[in-house]
Amino acid sequence: MTAVSYEVERGIATITLNSPANRNALSAAVRTGLADALAAARADDGVRAAVLTGAGTVFCAGADLKEVSSGEPVTGPGIPEILAAILDLPKPVIAKLNGPARAGGLGIVAACDIAVAPDDVTFAFTEVRIGVVPAMIAVVCKPRMAPRALSRYFLTGETFSAADAVESGLITACAPRAELDGLVDGMLDGLRRAEPKAVGRTKALVEELAGMDRAEAFTMAERLSQEFFASPEAAEGRRSFFEKRPPKWAI
């Protein structure tokens, strides 16, 4: 059994953390498998988006503390590499939580473009309770979360609900378990109808705007808008609209 499974169906790559015996903790095997799966999704032009989920009852418990405590040299890609691979993938990544997430697992959630969870799961930044700092995941959690919520949950290590996670900005939405598949399927249907280059550039745009002042942002945005409106893909999009048919890229 591989630590991370990967399969593609109708343009969607499903990446599953598949180490339920240790609550899908981020062991070297899981990190390596996750990095390989993200690389495969990046390289496959037929993949429009990725769904990241977990096997078993827990999404991800964070760092593999047994592995960290072993004293053995660290192998495989590090957490920053994994988070960067999610952020830099020129395709949307949806975190579809199957269960609770803790510590470093919340970094994985925050790095994804969209994150949804059953309304009965819980979250916690438990690092401070074992004497460590949530340093690496702060890089991806800070842009997502409301400042007061970030401070509270980082500093106290307390457990919070899925509804709290939505309110904080950590996740996009929560729903009863029976409705979660339908929620995600609706999002995937939208991504299958979207033009891949436009989606990839839009993902990059969101991050770029965060570091720009208003004048710089408008200058860049005007240039980008003109570039894409003049593209063959935009011409096809307009034709399909007027002809009341799906565009050629829809799958």
**Residues near 118 by beta carbon (within 8 Å), at least 6 away in sequence:** 97, 98, 99, 162, 174, 175, 176, 177, 180
Q: Give the pLDDT confidence of 194-228 residue by residue, as tens digits.
A: 999 999 999 999 999 988 999 999 999 999 999 99
Q: What's the pLDDT at 69?
A: 87
Residue 231 CB: number of other CB atoms within 10 A?
14
The predicted structure's pLDDT at residue 68: 86
Per the CB < 8 A criterion, the answer to whether 134 and 125 are in contact is yes
Alpha carbons 84 and 107: distance in angstroms, whole number: 11
pLDDT in tens, 50-91: 999 999 999 999 999 989 888 888 889 999 999 999 999 999
Task: Give the model's pLDDT for residue 146.
Answer: 98
C-alpha span between 175 and 1 (Å, rounded) = 30
Are 48 and 10 in contact, with CB atoms under 8 Å apart? no
72 flagged as catalytic: no
Distances (CA, A) of 181 to 13, 51, 54, 98, 122: 15, 12, 14, 11, 19
pLDDT for 241 beyond 90: yes
> How far is residue 78's CA from residue 75's CA, in Å, rounded to a whole number?
8
**How confident is the model at residue 210, as a pLDDT?**
87
Catalytic residue among 127, 167, 208, 216: 127
Has residue 1 got a pLDDT over 80? no
Q: How does pLDDT run across 126-184, given as a tens digit for each residue?
A: 999 999 999 999 999 999 999 999 999 999 999 999 999 999 999 999 999 999 999 99
